[in-house]
Chain A
Amino acid sequence: QQKVQQSPESLIVPEGAMTSLNCTFSDSASQYFAWYRQHSGKAPKALMSIFSNGEKEEGRFTIHLNKASLHFSLHIRDSQPSDSALYLCAVKDTGNYKYVFGAGTRLKVIA
């Protein structure tokens, strides 16, 4: 069964800093890797996703995937107080539509 783990559990960074969040998974045949962001009291919302090894950048956000290392990450450049939220990584199992989530990293960006 797919295992997905996130680190760190929580993080406090100053405004303007680079933030790095990590996610490890157990099934190297997984196909879909994504980050979801959940502001307090709200629904999770897809932030970025990647399907193959490498990097993908969208604005201040970069996702990096290394399947051989069973690891992907999210990097937030110039972190803003509005980035404060719970970040959830998700991996989709091969051959079905079952998404497995990590426990989350709670990020706080202080002004």
Chain B
Amino acid sequence: EAAVTQSPRSKVAVTGGKVTLSCHQTNNHDYMYWYRQDTGHGLRLIHYSYVADSTEKGDIPDGYKASRPSQENFSLILELASLSQTAVYFCASSDRGPSAETLYFGSGTRLTVL
């Protein structure tokens, strides 16, 4: 089973502060993703990456930056946290190729911005 590890599991941040969420995968997968989950919105894509040192914007990138320093690690950065960024954040990875479509998710980070 593919393994994706997120840290921290939960975090409380102050408005205007900087927050970094980390994700580590040991599956040798090329693709990594950051999603946020809010009640009634399912999972919405923030940023994704298909190779180290490169990231792509997803559907809701405003207010977020991403960093992929290596194949295994993918971070999500909130430079100036806002109340509206309170949510659960999931990291996921997937392999390359037409028969390797499954997304493997980490356990999530519950972020509360006060």
Enumerate chain A interface residues (CB-CB to B < 8 A): 1, 6, 31-32, 34, 36, 42-46, 49, 51, 88, 90, 92, 97-104
Chain A residues positioned under 8 Å from B104 (CB to CB)? 46
User: How many chain B residues touch A (Cβ–Cβ < 8 Å)?
Assistant: 24
Chain B residues positioned under 8 Å from A98 (CB to CB)? 45, 48, 58
Cβ contact of A101, chosen from B42, B48, B102, B106, cutoff 8 A: B42
Establish whether residues A43 and B43, one from each chain, have CB atoms under 8 Å apart when the complex forms.
Answer: no
Establish whether residues A49 and B42, one from each chain, have CB atoms under 8 Å apart when the complex forms.
Answer: no
Chain B interface helix/strand/loop/mixed:
strand
CB within 8 Å for A97 and B107 given contacts A102-B42, A104-B42? no
Chain A residues positioned under 8 Å from B31 (CB to CB)? 97
Enumerate chain B interface residues (CB-CB to A < 8 A): 31, 33, 35, 40-45, 48, 50, 58-59, 90, 94, 98, 101-108
Residue of B nearest to A32 (CB): B101
CB within 8 Å for A99 and B105 given contacts A1-B59, A43-B90? no
Question: Can you name 23 A-B residue pairings with CB atoms under 8 Å?
Answer: A32-B101, A34-B101, A42-B107, A43-B90, A43-B105, A43-B108, A44-B105, A45-B105, A46-B102, A49-B101, A49-B102, A51-B98, A88-B42, A90-B103, A97-B31, A97-B50, A98-B45, A98-B58, A99-B33, A99-B103, A101-B43, A101-B44, A104-B42
A90 to B108, CA, bound (A): 18
Chain A residues positioned under 8 Å from B33 (CB to CB)? 99
Chain B residues positioned under 8 Å from A45 (CB to CB)? 105
Chain B residues positioned under 8 Å from A44 (CB to CB)? 43, 90, 103, 105
With both chains docked as a complex, state the minimum distance between the C-beta of B102 and any C-beta of chain A, in angstroms. 5
With both chains docked as a complex, state the minimum distance between the C-beta of A47 and any C-beta of chain B, in angstroms. 10
Chain A residues positioned under 8 Å from B50 (CB to CB)? 97
Establish whether residues B41 and A99, one from each chain, have CB atoms under 8 Å apart when the complex forms.
Answer: no
